[in-house]
Amino acid sequence: MNVLVVNAGSSSLKLSVLGEGDEVLSQHHVERWEGGAVELPDDVPEVHAVGHRVVHGGADLTEPVALTDRTRAEIERLTDLAPLHQPRALAGIDAVTALLPDVPQVACFDTAFHATLPPVASTYPLPERWRRRWGLRRYGFHGLSHAYAARRAVDLAGGGSRVVTCHLGAGCSLAAVRDGRSVDTTMGFTPLGGLVMATRSGDLDPGLLLWLRDRLDPEDLDDGLEHGSGLAGLGGRADLRDLREAASGGDVDAALAIDVFVHRLRQGVASMVASLGGLDLLVFTGGIGEHDAAVRADAVRGLGFLGVELDDSRNADLDDGDTRISTSASAAGVFVVEAREDVEIARGVRRVLG
């Protein structure tokens, strides 16, 4: 079965066709994607099924589902919980429906992997009546990437029960994975929480939001938190490559942006380790996780108290492919794994369609 995978992220659109054994038959990436209509390239091989990455599945969509008018409507209803992402997934679904009306489609959810969070990790200390009325809870995101990266690292290491996965792309999140199940994560009710991201703030003091609420129009507050914060808010550039270049030219704001990013990352990893009661494997994935050796080195250097130790030359010169970057003396294995949400999605499609 050839599966077309549509991964509409906040900064990129990734289309791939996976054949038997997840062989990549075709690939088409749009970086710095602004959203809008999704166009399929003309040279796509024959496709028997389509899988979409959908960021929010809410409380009910915790497994991949066949797309029907009803499941599409459920996805659309969750738009206000992921306003940056959900419309992009819907654009992908609608484009495929128009172009390949007879091909079955399946939606796979970023939230699904985190459906196993224990109440202690998913419950917000908010009034009971609010939680009951709106189902307020930590959902967590990037689950397709975390699930794949954790499994891949365990395969490469030949075992490991307590795994922390770092998905560092445009959106960034961490997951604490025990025996293949997510038990904690940094993102929350929406993909705005947790780590510092390209343009999103991550966690803030809620009192700061109340203070801003009294001074800004609601649209400006939304826009500032979603599009004007994070690396862009600190260093004027959303892309870490641009920040590195500016910082090396002496731009102190760009340098501080990177330092704040790494500081929060290191804190976040330690908090995931605390949720797991220890660490067997630490995994980096996503555009930053895969390509920025200094982020990995700086984050891990600050975690020396956990006994984690990088092999500097392995970290600096990654051969092609997924690899271990820790020393043999390191208390936990550290790995870099290519983000393959497409493989995880194709797996979900095959499971649903048999």
Ligand X SMILES: CC(=O)OP(=O)(O)O
Ligand Y SMILES: Nc1ncnc2c1ncn2[C@@H]1O[C@H](COP(=O)(O)OP(=O)(O)O)[C@@H](O)[C@H]1O
Interaction with ligand Y in 237-276: which residues (CB under 6 A)? 239-241
Q: Which stretch binds ligand Y (CB under 6 A): 44-52, 65-73, 251-259, 283-291?
A: 283-291
The entry of ligand X, ligand Y, Mg ion, none near residue 292 (CB within 5 to 8 angstroms by kind) is: ligand Y
**Smallest gap from residue 199 Cβ to Mg ion (A):** 14
Q: Which stretch binds ligand X (CB under 6 A): 61-69, 165-173, 232-240, 305-313?
A: 165-173
Q: At what angle do helices 240-248 and 252-276 cross, to 10 degrees?
A: 130
Q: Could you say whether residue 51 binds ligand X (CB under 6 A)?
A: no
Of 50, 173, 69, the residue nearest 114 (C-alpha)? 173
Q: Which is nearer to ligand X, 188 or 333 (CB)?
A: 188
Q: Could you say whether residue 229 binds ligand X (CB under 6 A)?
A: no
Give 325's contacts (C-beta < 8 A, 6+ positions apart): 296, 310, 311, 314, 315, 318, 334, 335, 336
Query: Are β-strands 24-31 and 12-18 bridged in parallel, bridged antiparallel, or unpaired?
Result: antiparallel
Give 267's contacts (C-beta < 8 A, 6+ positions apart): none
- Tell which one of 89, 157, 170, 272 touches ligand X (CB under 6 A): 170
Backbone angles phi, psi at 195, to 5 degrees: -70, 165
Whole-Å CA distances, 185 to 137, 169, 170, 202: 12, 16, 17, 13
The entry of ligand X, ligand Y, Mg ion, none near residue 213 (CB within 5 to 8 angstroms by kind) is: none
Instruction: Give the count of beta carbons closer than 10 Å to the beta carbon of residue 104.
Output: 14
Measured CA to CA, the distance from residue 89 to residue 72 in angstroms comes to: 10
Do the annotations mark residue 301 as ligand-binding? no
Q: Map 301-314 to HEC letters.
A: HCCHHHCCCECHHH
Q: How far apart are the first and last CA of the chain?
A: 10
Q: Could you say whether residue 227 binds ligand Y (CB under 6 A)?
A: no
**Smallest gap from residue 311 Cβ to ligand Y (A):** 20
Interaction with ligand Y in 165-224: which residues (CB under 6 A)? 169-171, 198
Q: Which stretch binds Mg ion (CB under 5 A): 6-14, 17-25, 79-87, 269-277?
A: 6-14
- Tell which one of 2, 4, 8, 9 touches Mg ion (CB under 5 A): 9
| Residue 110 annotated in active site | yes
Binding mask 76-95 for ligand X (x = CB under 6 A): ---------x----------
Do the annotations mark residue 169 as ligand-binding? yes
Q: Could you say whether residue 143 binds ligand X (CB under 6 A)?
A: no
- Tell which one of 194, 287, 333, 348 touches ligand Y (CB under 6 A): 287
Q: Could you say whether residue 171 binds ligand X (CB under 6 A)?
A: yes
CB 333 within 8 A of CB 297: no
Q: Could you say whether residue 193 binds ligand X (CB under 6 A)?
A: no
DSSP characters over 174-236: EEEEETTEEEEES--SSTTSSS--SS---S--HHHHHHHHTTS-HHHHHHHHHHSSHHHHHHS
Q: Could you say whether residue 96 binds ligand X (CB under 6 A)?
A: no
* Active site residue ranges: 110
Residue ranges for the known binding site for ATP are: 14, 167-171, 239-241, 287-291
Residues that bind ligand Y (CB under 6 A): 9-12, 169-171, 198, 239-241, 286-288, 291-292, 339
